[in-house]
Amino acid sequence: MRSFVRGNPWRFAIVAGLGFIAVYPLVSDDLYYQNMIMLSLLLAIMGSGWNVISGFTGYVSLGQSAFLGIGAYTTAILSVRVFDGASPFWFVPVSAVVAGIFAAVVGAVLMRTRGHSFVILTIAFLFVMQIVALNWSEVTNGNHGITLPLPDWNRDYQNWPFYYGFFALMLLSIATSWWIRRTKLGMGLVAIREDENKAGGVGVATPTYKVLAFVASAVWIGAAGGIYAYYLSFIDPRGMFDIVVSVQIVLAVLLGGRGTLWGPILGAFILEPLNEITNQEIGGGNERLIFFGGLLALVVLLLPRGIIPSVQELVARRRETGTAALVGERLGRPLEVRGRAAEPAPRTGRALLEIKGVEKRFGGLRALDGCSISVEEGTITALIGPNGSGKTTLFNIIDGTMSRDRGEVWFDGERIDRLHTWERAHRGMGRTFQVTRLFREMTVLENVVAPLRSFTWRQLGTVAVAGHEAERAEELLDFVGMRRFASHRASALSFGQQKLVELAQVLMLDPKLIMLDEPAGGINPTLISHMAEMIRELNRGGTTFLVVEHNMPLVLGLCDPIHVLARGSCICSGTPTEVQADPAVLDAYLGDDYLVEREAV
């Protein structure tokens, strides 16, 4: 313990705070402050839960207080109506399970939407629960609410069972958050927050992750609802499914620091005492609404990142002056990849990827109109064509970002056009983007570790950045020449550097096929030849490439064969020489005055 806190004021504050809460009821019998701490603990539990779904995963829920109500009603109904006066504490675990089940079902449905829609749906979920509790009076006693038995223990113990029940649940919530944050599960959630489509593309089975996050965000709130019902000894629909409670949760976490481990706790212990004091000083009801509404507006406007991240940033800025200069430093000469061979990969003649008659429409526009191409194993195949010819759309259909209207996609002898993006990634398909899409808030190393080659339940619980994978990621960063940036945030990199990191990220999937969308777009000539060298190197190691590119010298020097796309279908395929001589290609893309010149790249 002493070594844990030594020289670290953060940890000291945490240990001191938790210690204070742990002993407070033993040394003081002031019920007013005990009540205040209990309500703070409750808010901390709810905030910590909300933080998992909204802080880590980025899905803002305004319906989180519904799980408090679900837990409270579960315990109340079981102890009063079903088991006729049994101690409510028996049913607290049941409340947790019921809240978790609700979260799984509701989450599986609601999380098909994003952004605004999700926020609105969570509000709707909360009000639907309230209306059900009001109207289903046979079970919930409707408007009249349910009265629970009074505590049956010796008065000498005051409210200790409630107090320590909440305390234990808060510790469990914190432990859950901590565990999630350091595992593959947590890294997947952050990836979803940063860029959900991209997360799917690098092998994260996003729906499973999101539902798990929603369940994790609900169970402890459900359990707390059970204890809370017993503590209040009376519950009714309006008090239990209260949107203002949801607002308090959001406010507490925003105040403390969304996405951090201790932010929700800090926020709760600031907000709840403030709530009590304002209740006493300025009265409840309307004044309270104005106070909380005003505070929420102020926090959103002035302190959107919360206390802890803002303070951390201040401290970091002081400590790290100068390192920012590293960004933009010239790239060292890298290149060392496993299994390197001098010769190009042997061509097997087998089609690794086959597109058969794919069609895609956007309203009246036919982006792809019966497009068929195949990519032979071991080649660096190019896909060229004028803007709007459907190249990126084809990429999106191959990797599953978009669904095709008609046609088939075969990969490695298997039909894949109905598979999810992550399932395609698991089969050995990787892709980079025209405009890079790294997970901006993650470090470079985390970005490279994030891809997953498979989905297993056990994998979810393994530590995110560790062991063999971390070593492999560092190797890959070394390969692309970005190792020294491993601990930088991705958003701090230049565009060209991001392209290199994105390549390393894709390589982490150990893909059979890499699809590059304009690898040379927007980067300097030195980097372009560097990029070409790496592509050749990887190809010698056995990786097949499909490249979309407008830089003709690069394409002609690097790729063979070349497919030419125009108006949604493939008009010509062949070697660079054949393609350059084809009149249809000259007409559609290169232009009549295009001079055949094979520059060495």
Partner 1 sequence: MTQLVQTIVLGLLIGGVYALLAGGLALIFGVMDVINVAQGALLILAAFVAWTLWNDFGIDPLLSVLVTTPLMFGLGWVMYKTTIQWISGRPASMSVLLTFALALVIEGAMGMAWSTTYHAATPGYFAQSFRLGDFYFPKAQVFGCVIAFGVLTFLYVLLRYTWLGRAIRAVSENVSSARLVGVNPKKVAALTFAVGVAMAGAGGSIASVLYPFLPGSHYQWISRLLGIIVLGGMGSLPGAVVGALALGVAETMTATYISPRWATMMPYALIMVVLLARPQGIMGAKLREDAVI
Binding site for partner 1 (CB under 8 A): 58, 60, 62, 109-110, 112-113, 115-117, 119-121, 123-125, 127-128, 131, 134-135, 197, 243-244, 247, 250, 254, 285-297, 300-301, 304, 362-363, 392, 396, 401-402, 434-435
Q: What is the DSSP string of 466-482?
A: -HHHHHHHHHHHHHHT-
Measured on CA atoms in the order 507, 513, 518, 524, is the torsion positive or negative?
positive
Q: How far is the CB of 577 from partner 1 (least distance, A)?
A: 33
CA distances from 561 to 11, 98, 128, 248, 509 (A): 60, 58, 59, 61, 25
Nearer to partner 1, 131 or 324 (CB): 131
46 and 228 Cβ atoms separated by less than 8 Å: no
Nearer to partner 1, 189 or 227 (CB): 189
Nearer to partner 1, 293 or 542 (CB): 293
Q: How far is the CB of 448 from partner 1 (least distance, A)?
A: 23
Q: Six-digit token pair at 19?
A: 């210690």
Residue showing tokens 């191959």 = 398
Nearer to partner 1, 251 or 486 (CB): 251
- SS3 call for 390: coil
Nearer to partner 1, 189 or 480 (CB): 189
Q: Six-digit token pair at 58?
A: 């980025």
Contacts of 140 (CB under 8 A, 6+ apart): 73, 77, 132, 133, 134, 146, 237
Nearer to partner 1, 23 or 290 (CB): 290
Nearer to partner 1, 295 or 572 (CB): 295
Q: How far is the CB of 110 from partner 1 (least distance, A)?
A: 8
d(CA 348, CA 512) in angstroms, rounded, equals: 14
Cis peptide leading into residue 561 (ω within 30°): yes
243 and 126 Cβ atoms separated by less than 8 Å: yes
Look up residue 96 and give its DSSP letter. Answer: H
Nearer to partner 1, 484 or 489 (CB): 489
Angle between helices 307-319 and 263-282 (to 10 degrees): 130
Q: How far is the CB of 127 from partner 1 (least distance, A)?
A: 6
Residue 194 CA to its chain's centroid (Å)? 6
Of 79, 65, 52, nearest to 129 by C-alpha is: 65
Q: How far is the CB of 333 from partner 1 (least distance, A)?
A: 32
Q: How far is the CB of 125 from partner 1 (least distance, A)?
A: 8
Q: How far is the CB of 600 from partner 1 (least distance, A)?
A: 33
Instruction: Tell how strand 429-431 and strand 513-517 pair up.
Output: parallel
CA distances from 11 to 182, 257, 258, 468 (A): 18, 17, 19, 30
Beta bridge partners of 365: 362
Nearer to partner 1, 113 or 494 (CB): 113
Three-point CA angle 360, 431, 575, nearest 5°: 80
Residue showing tokens 């806190």 = 5
Q: How far is the CB of 40 from partner 1 (least distance, A)?
A: 21
Nearer to partner 1, 11 or 112 (CB): 112
Nearer to partner 1, 88 or 385 (CB): 385
Look up residue 183 and give its DSSP letter. Answer: B
Any idea how long the chain is? 601
Q: How far is the CB of 235 from partner 1 (least distance, A)?
A: 19
